[in-house]
Structures are given as structure tokens and as C-alpha cells.
Amino acid sequence: MTDAPEIFIDISTAIMCVAGDDLLCRMVEPQDDANNHRPRLPFGPFMPDQHRTMEIGLRHWVREQVGVDLGHVEQLYTFADQGRQRDFEAPDTHTVSVGYLALANQTARGSGGGASLWRNIYSFFPWEDWRDGRPACLDESIIPALDTWLTAAPEAQERVRLAFGRDRDQWDEEFVLERYEILYEAGLTEESYLEGRNPEPLYQGIPGTSLQLDHRRILATALGRLRGKFKYRPVIFDLMAPQFTLTQLQKTAEAILGVRLHKQNFRRMVEKSNFLDSTGKMEKSRGRPAELFRFRHGDRADRPLSGLRVSSSRPRRG
Amino acid sequence: MTDAPEIFIDISTAIMCVAGDDLLCRMVEPQDDANNHRPRLPFGPFMPDQHRTMEIGLRHWVREQVGVDLGHVEQLYTFADQGRQRDFEAPDTHTVSVGYLALANQTARGSGGGASLWRNIYSFFPWEDWRDGRPACLDESIIPALDTWLTAAPEAQERVRLAFGRDRDQWDEEFVLERYEILYEAGLTEESYLEGRNPEPLYQGIPGTSLQLDHRRILATALGRLRGKFKYRPVIFDLMAPQFTLTQLQKTAEAILGVRLHKQNFRRMVEKSNFLDSTGKMEKSRGRPAELFRFRHGDRADRPLSGLRVSSSRPRRG
DNA sequence: GTATTTATACTCAATTTGAGCATAATTATA
DNA sequence: TATAATTATGCTCAAATTGAGTATAAATAC
């Protein structure tokens, strides 16, 4: 077993942050040196002799490449399939990719080395943002393209139906990865085209910026995980500034879920959850000033670690 | 960078199955060749030249070592910390361990090569089974031992409180891994003793069979994941025979959660969820015969993929 | 000082949950 | 053969939660 390919591990991190209405992800922009004009996540090899754990390794690469202070950090998934992140210069090598999700708040946004940028997450997944109603790109390009693909791959019918729903209400916001994987397999992403999965650049009608290597896949995993997790663990507070108003909290929840929430009910839920301590202070901006709250940490909350069981608002018109 | 340690990947699988009241996990028993008398999970190296994906690799090792037909398969976590699964014979090597959860039903239990056995999962985590009330071992050995440890490591106080709760009702059944990790760090597992974390065999008062390598850690991850997941995805049906009664379904849910459920409410919930099709048939055993149901697959269910939002029964006596 | 904006309070019906009582259809046993 | 024990299923009912408002308060903008 001497000529088995040597294994390398890449650690890539999706760092999320919120600003106003936007859920942002920290990218490393391409240096425009011809080869690779797509942005990427901060990433680097896992070096067991220098990093006792992968999380230590990840913090090293993040510090070096984007200099952001991380709050909550969690491992997402390990992708090992051949060909999704192959290094063509080292064919006798197999690189496995471990994706992480990290959360930061605005105060920790840092600026750090090199060209880098916070990008709205929905610029990579326009079809995931339903805050202003059903995204137009679904009916304009994605669904028609998938229908075409399904005539060639009818066995995928059920999977597509589950991921993209049939009519309204059938959309499960957590299936971010499933949807991205389907688009990838259907050849509707630039990634699949560049990796030679299909001869035609079918992706060109579909909006959404593509990323290097398998980073958009990792990012899809991150968004899906975040959407699921914040419903049952209070991770949302890692995205908030130390003090915040209920509206800011709600905007953050909406940005994560890609969905509009009912204001009064959100407030009621959050108050009952006992997560918040009120600072006496007020924030004034436009209309009536809003009270500033802060997160009440572990020891005093009664439901130790549940999340925000949000209920979305479906303004009645149909 | 020529003398960086070479990386290997182990794939280990926790295969779960249900029989009656018991949640079982498929072990490979030790061949009793002195070195290792502890059981282990089926596992083997990931060989990228032979297995296009890790899941293919896992199925290969499972087939070879225990011959079980797998239903649902899902990746759990990738553990990479030094020293938790070190191979002392190859010091210039670093092995990363990827854990998987797989579900099987009784009809798929197979027998396959070598000495192997289904073992009750709570034999490894006796403190996780609350079906007959609070496990005695908690107050008899675990909590006192943790208290002793906390005097030496007071910074862990908050973590311990969160994982083990203070009084009743504070126990979050999903924190299986967190609890195991605390016991490991506190030196209260045979694994930590054998890995040289502490000179005294403190674990000897604590019940629970230990496993080889980091397999009990993977198993803890598996149980925690299963407990969480079946609440929002219908994975429980992968553990059921093709036809089953509501009581059997409830027993399975109880075995997973390690908690007793309220029968009538469980029935009501499961009927409303629309997951079941009634076969006309009945199963008779002791009392009144029970109707046999089967799982209604995807296309016809109205809530496509929610899980069983169980409500536990707390018989009032306090 | 009136319109606009935003925050917060309160209401109310519909639904869901938690707990238990009642009844039905069997097998085990006196 | 009657009666007890056992298991399944049906139904009730109050409490709590949810979904969708209306109403009012406290600012700024014009």
C-alpha cells in the first residue's frame, strides 16, 4: 500500500456577521492573478504537528487571512468526494475538506491582511431570500431549468420536489445544502461547469456568485445549519452587538431565516424566553426610541439553552 | 515540509437498531488477544483510491466486519485532536477520525463475519436512561465524583451545571456528548485513564462499559444526534420494521430519548402528523390487538419532513 | 402642529398541549 | 364460565401557546 494517495485536510471557515438587514460572510477576494477570479473562504491545511486541534488550525488561518475575532465556532461537515476540490497540480494527493461555521459581531469585524470583504450571503444564494416574497429567480430561471434537467434525470424528481417544494408553504428554509447540491448536479452552477460536469454553461441564466473549490457548498451547509440551530440554541446572540434593540434582534433572525417575522409575536416570544436583560438605556433613531437589551448568560436563564422558536408572519392575501 | 506527519482517516460507524424496549448498537467484540479487551465499532481507513466517497468506504467496512444492511446513514463529526486515537506504533502519523451514524431495522440485522454483537446503548451510558426515573448512578457515583473534580477545576462549574443540570427538569437529553466529554476530562472514564490523563483509576466507581480508541465518544455523538434529529426529521422509521404498532413506535421513541412518554398524547400526535398508513392488519399478543401501520413515504405526507414532536409524560408525584 | 415612523401594549379566537377518565377487545386465571 | 388483568383506543377539558390583529405611545420630519 505504498502508492495510495496521500491525504491532506483543508479547513475552511464561513464567518458570518450581521449588519443592519444583511447577513454577511467574510470572503477573501481573488488577487486577480488570472487563474482564479472567484472569491473564496479563508482556509488552509490542517497541520497536526502545529495545531493540536482543527479548531486551533482554523483560528490560525482566520487570523492570518482575515483577522476577525470569532465568537461561536462549530464544525459543519467533512467533504471527501473525489473531484469536488481536486488539486490538479498534485494528482497523487487527495484533499478532504472540513467546513466550519463561525459567528462574529460587528465590533469584532476586524480588517486584517490582504484583500478581503464582507459579502451578503444571499448574493451566493439569491433563491434563499424570501423576505420580499418568493424570489423571482425561482420562477424565471431555476424551476424551468430544473424541469428541463428532470426530463433527462427523472429519478431526481422526488428530491427536487422535496427541496424546492411544489407550491408555496412547501419551502423548508433549512434545506439550503440540498438545493445547492441539486443545482450543482443539474449543471446549473459555475462550479459544476468548471469541474467539467457538463459541456454547456447552463449556469449562465442562474443568478448567484460562485466561489472557489467547494466553498459554496460549505457556505450552503453553514447557512442551513445556522437556520436550523438558532431555533433551538441561542446562537443568534453571537451575532449581536453587546447591546441591541428588539428590532435589531428581529432583523437578524429574519436575515438568517430569509423570511419576514411578525413583530409583536416575536417580541412576546423573546420576552418570555427570558434570554434578555434590559439595560435601562434607549436607542433613538427615527420614531419612538427603543429599549436596549443585552443577552442574559447561562446561569440566570430558566430555559438554559433553547433557541428562538420563531413564528413567521404570513400577511394574509390568499 | 517533508517531515510533517502523514495524515490518515479512520471511518467509524455507530449502527443502531431497536429490539423491543432496547436501543442497540452493533459492536465488534474483541478477539481477546490480550491487547485490547474492549469492544469497538466497525471501522477502517478511508482509502480514496478505492472509495470515491467516505460513505462508500464506510459501507465497505461495515459489510466486511458486521454485514448489516444500513438504512439511513449520516455523518456525525470529525475528531482530529491529538492523543484521543493515537497509534503508538506509528508515531509519525496522525489519524483523524470521522464518525457516522447508521440506522437499521431488525429485519436487516444480518450476522456477518467474525465475533460481533448488538449491545444495549445504555450499557455504555447508564446515566442517559431515565425511563425508570433518574438513574441511580448519578447520585451514587457521578455527581459526587464530579463535585470532587470541580474543587480542582472550578472553571468547569458552569459547563457541568449545564450538562448535568442541578435539579430535575434541568436535564437536556440531547447533551449526551457534552456529558461524556466532561466525564472523560474529569478522568471518570476508563478511556481517559488508559490514555494517561490521570494516575488514579477514578473511573472504577462509575458504571458504563468503555470502548476502544475514541469509539465511545463517537457513540455519544451518535446518540445525541439521534435524539435531536428524530424530533424534526422522520428518521425513526428507519429503525422500525416495515409494519409496526403504535406501541412499538412509542417504545422506540422512548428508547431513543431515554424517557417515558404519555401514551394517548403520543398516539394523537403521531396520527395528526400524517406519517402513517394503516394496513388493515392487526397484531395480537397480550391484551386488545393493536392495529399495524406502515410509514407513508414522502410524496403523500403533508408535512414533508418534520419529525415526531414528542411530549414526555411526567406522572405527577411532586 | 400635523404627518410619519417606530416601539410597545393589549386582545381574542384558534390551536396545541398536558393530563386524565372511559371504554373496547383481547388473554390469563379463579 | 366469570372475572381479573392487560393492552389499545376514544374522548374530555383546562391551560398554554400561537397567529393575527387593533390600539396607543413616543419620538422625528416637514
Range with the poorest average pLDDT among A65-79, A99-113, B18-32: A99-113
B285 touches strand D (CB under 7 A): yes
How far apart (Å, rounded) are the C-alpha atoms in residues B220 and B164? 15
Q: What mean pLDDT comes out for the span A49-56? A: 93
Q: What is the pLDDT of residues B184-210, one digit of tens each?
A: 999 999 999 988 878 888 889 999 999
Q: Kindly determine whether the C-beta of residue A316 is less than 7 Å away from any atom of nucleic acid strand D.
A: yes
Residue A86: pLDDT over 70: no
> Any idea which architecture A6-122 has in CATH?
Alpha-Beta Complex (3.90)
In this model, does residue A112 exceed pLDDT 60? no
Confirm whether any atom of chain D, the nucleic acid strand, is less than 7 Å from CB of A311: yes
- In chain B, CATH 3.90.79.10 covers 6-122
Q: Which three cell numbers stand for residue A104?
A: 462574529
Residue A4 is predicted with a pLDDT of 83
CA B314, CA A99: separation in Å to the nearest integer?
40
Mean pLDDT of A220-230: 95
Q: Which residue has the higher pLDDT, B30 or A6?
A: A6
| CA→C1' distance for A262 and D22 (Å) | 15
Residue A182 has pLDDT above 90, yes or no: yes
Q: Which three cell numbers stand for residue A57?
A: 488550525
B78: cell is: 470529525
CA-based nearest residue to B195, from B82, B77, B29:
B82
What b/e string do you get for B8-46 counting C-beta neighbours within 10 Å, with b at 16 or more? bbbbbbbbbbbbeebbbbbbbeeeeeeeeebbbbbbbbb
- Look up residue B221 and give its three cell numbers: 455523538
pLDDT at residue A316 greater than cutoff 50: no
Provide mean pLDDT across the span A254-268.
94
- Give the confidence band of B116 by pLDDT, cuts at 50, 70, 90: low
Q: How far is the CA of B297 from the C1' of C27 (A)?
A: 35
Q: pLDDT-derived band of residue B304, with 50, 70 and 90 as boundaries?
A: very low
Task: Give strand letter and number of the nucleotide nearest B271 (CA to C1').
Answer: D9
From the Cβ of B289, is strand C under 7 Å away? Answer: yes
**What b/e readout covers B65-91, taking b as 16+ CB neighbours within 10 angstroms?**
bbbbebbbbebbbbbbbeebbbeeeee
Q: How confident is the model at residue B13 (pLDDT cuts 50, 70, 90)?
A: very high
Q: Is the pLDDT of residue B86 over 90?
A: no
Could you tell me if B307 and B230 are in contact, meaning their C-beta atoms sit under 8 angstroms apart?
yes
Write down the pLDDT at residue B307: 60
pLDDT surpassing 80 at residue A171: yes
Query: Residues A235-254: what's their mean pLDDT?
Result: 94
Read off the amino acid at residue A154: P
Query: Per mean pLDDT, which range of A129-138, B46-55, B84-93, B237-246 is the poorest?
Result: B84-93
CB-CB: which of A98, A158, A162 is closest to B78? A98
Helix, strand, or coil here: B165?
A: coil
- Tell me which chain B residues have a C-beta less than 8 angstroms from the C-beta of A309: none
Q: What confidence category does residue B87 fall into, taking pLDDT thresholds of 50, 70 and 90?
A: low
User: Does the C-beta of A280 come within 7 A of strand C?
Assistant: no
Nearest CA among B24, B25, B20, B73 for reference residue B250: B20
Among A286, A188, A193, A297, residue whose Cα is nearest residue A245: A286
CA of A16 to C1' of D30 (A): 40
Q: Give me the pLDDT at residue A94, please.
A: 92
Residue A230's pLDDT band (boundaries 50, 70, 90)?
A: confident
Q: What is the pLDDT of residue B149?
A: 96
Lowest mean pLDDT among A21-35, A149-163, A277-291, B252-266: A21-35
Query: 3-state DSSP call for residue B193?
Result: helix
**Interface touch B54/A78, C-beta < 8 Å:** yes
For position B110, what pLDDT does the model report?
66
B316 has a pLDDT exceeding 70: no
For residue A274, give the 3-state DSSP assignment.
coil
Question: Which nucleotides of strand C lie within 7 A of protein CB?
Answer: 4-11, 17-21, 24-28
The CATH code that applies to domain A234-300 is 1.10.10.10
**Better-predicted residue by pLDDT, B2 or B277:** B277
Residue ranges, CATH 1.10.10.10, chain B: 234-300
Find chain A residues with C-beta within 8 A of B233's C-beta: none
Residue B318 has pLDDT above 50, yes or no: no
Q: Which among A80-84, A187-191, A308-312 has the top mean pLDDT?
A: A187-191
- What are A's interface residues with B at a Cβ cutoff of 8 A? 4-9, 46-49, 52-54, 75, 77-78, 80-82, 94, 96, 98, 158, 161-162, 170, 172, 228, 232, 298-299, 304-305
| Residue of chain A with shortest Cα separation from B1 | A47
DSSP helix/strand/coil, B318: coil
Whether residue B9 and residue A5 make contact (CB cut-off 8 A), yes or no, is: no
pLDDT of A317 > 50? The answer is no
The reported pLDDT for the residue numbered A37 is 78
Confidence of residue B32 (pLDDT cuts 50, 70, 90): low
For residue A34, pLDDT beyond 80: no
Identify the helix (H) or strand (E) that includes residue A101: strand A93-103
Question: How does the average pLDDT of chain A come out, rounded?
Answer: 86
**pLDDT tens, residue by residue, A12-26:** 999 999 999 999 999
Q: What type of residue sits at position A40?
A: R
